[in-house]
Amino acid sequence: MKAAPFAYVRPSSLPEAVAELGGTGGGGKVIAGGQSLTPVLAMRLARPDTLIDINAVDGLDRFARRDGFLEIGATVRQRRVEHDPASAAVPLLGMALPWVGHRELRSRGTVCGSLAHADPAAELPAVACCLAAEIVATGPGGQRRIPAREFFSGAMTTALEPDEILTAVRLPVARAGEGFGFAEIARRHGDFALAGVVVAVRVGGEAVLTGFGVSDRPVTTDVSGVLDEAVRAACGDRGRLAEELGERLAPVADELVDTEGDAHASGDYRRRLFRVLAGRELAKAYHRAHEEKA
């Protein structure tokens, strides 16, 4: 199937791009890499009257560390983030990006495009939620920052207004005494996850778990209490911690995994996957956090 007819504009400045989007009255779509949007257009699941191509907009290719955050502009490709040394400041990017589609898709796809598309089984929205990242949106009224955990409101649905462009994401850089974990199960590498987890642990602080592919959006919860109980029960046995966590995370899986299943996996199967992955990655993140502290 081919996309429905649409107009195409390629503004060179952000004010011009915002004006072009606003002028469509909600009928426009922004495109940068197009790896999420183009298939949707081809299947006619979206029929925008205008595509606003932001690749020529000055300043949206910013990729820099500033004020404790790694800021990634809207036209920065996933492949660049995957290989740039600056990404080491956010270890979860290095863990998650190899799981996003395939190398060819990441060469064109953008980090911000994946966030704006808001697929509930995608990796990068879950990373943003786990780290409590900031989403930067720009519209006619100026710029605003939206907490990632408030940005995703449902499947393919976000807090972006129809006349706003997602212009950047700000991910907090890792500090000493923090450890992270990421894992997913998919039918084939590069597919969207049947179930996935992202975890962040801080020594003496909170432990956060985000699940994806298990609800209509990334779901995040504080599991500090569960981790503390499991650490005490494991009595310093490194290998036993993941097992203890896997058992104690069953209620968390019941709470967060709210899908009834589909042709690929049932809800119960996803809960089992989620519980096992979460136990393993939370244990790894705990040990990494303490090794970083040492």
Range of 135's domain?
Answer: 63-172
Quote the pLDDT of residue 205.
Answer: 87
| Whether 139 and 40 share a structural domain | no
Quote the pLDDT of residue 188.
Answer: 85
| Whether 69 and 49 share a structural domain | no
Is residue 190 very low, low, confident or very high in pLDDT (cuts 50, 70, 90)?
confident
Q: What is the DSSP letter of 117?
A: H
| Whether 222 and 288 share a structural domain | yes
CATH number reported for the structural domain that contains residue 197 in this entry: 3.30.390.50
The values of phi and psi at residue 221, to 5°, are: -150, 155
First to last CA, the chain: 57
| Whether 222 and 262 share a structural domain | yes
pLDDT one-digit tens code per residue, 222-275: 999 999 999 999 998 888 999 999 899 999 999 999 887 787 888 899 999 999
Quote the pLDDT of residue 261.
Answer: 76
| Whether 70 and 40 share a structural domain | no
Let me know if residue 72 belongs to a domain: yes
CA distance 111 to 93: 10
Quote the pLDDT of residue 189.
Answer: 84
CA distance 108 to 231: 43
The values of phi and psi at residue 40, to 5°, are: -65, -40
Per the CB < 8 A criterion, the answer to whether 62 and 76 are in contact is: yes
Quote the pLDDT of residue 279.
Answer: 96
The values of phi and psi at residue 270, to 5°, are: -65, -35
Q: In the predicted model, what is the mean pLDDT of residues 185-192? A: 85
The three-class DSSP label of residue 15 is helix
pLDDT, averaged across the chain: 94
pLDDT at 19 over 80: yes
Q: In the predicted model, what is the mean pLDDT of residues 114-133? A: 97
CATH number reported for the structural domain that contains residue 156 in this entry: 3.30.465.10
Is residue 293 very low, low, confident or very high in pLDDT (cuts 50, 70, 90)?
low
The three-class DSSP label of residue 10 is coil
pLDDT one-digit tens code per residue, 135-146: 999 999 999 999
Let me know if residue 1 belongs to a domain: no
Per the CB < 8 A criterion, the answer to whether 209 and 179 are in contact is: no
CATH number reported for the structural domain that contains residue 25 in this entry: 3.30.43.10
Overall pTM surpassing 0.85 (yes/no): yes
- Of 132, 149, 172, which marks where a domain is finished? 172
In angstroms, what CA-CA distances link 9 with 37, 94, 137, 243? 16, 34, 20, 55
In angstroms, what CA-CA distances link 2 with 31, 39, 109? 17, 10, 20
What's the domain count of the chain?
3
pLDDT at 294 over 70: no
Quote the pLDDT of residue 192.
Answer: 81
Quote the pLDDT of residue 141.
Answer: 95
In angstroms, what CA-CA distances link 108 with 32, 43, 79, 90, 248? 9, 20, 8, 21, 41
Q: What is the DSSP letter of 195?
A: E
Alpha helix locations (H) across 71-122? 78-83, 91-96, 103-108, 111-117
Quote the pLDDT of residue 260.
Answer: 77
Let me know if residue 186 belongs to a domain: yes
Residue type, 98: P
Q: Which of 109-113, 163-167, 190-194 has the lowest mean pLDDT?
A: 190-194
Is residue 106 very low, low, confident or very high in pLDDT (cuts 50, 70, 90)?
very high
Q: In the predicted model, what is the mean pLDDT of residues 181-207? A: 92
Quote the pLDDT of residue 154.
Answer: 93
CA distance 21 to 160: 13
The three-class DSSP label of residue 55 is coil
- Of 172, 199, 218, which marks where a domain is finished? 172
The fraction of the chain above a pLDDT of 70, given in percent, is: 99
Quote the pLDDT of residue 196.
Answer: 96
Let me know if residue 58 belongs to a domain: no
CA distance 28 to 265: 35
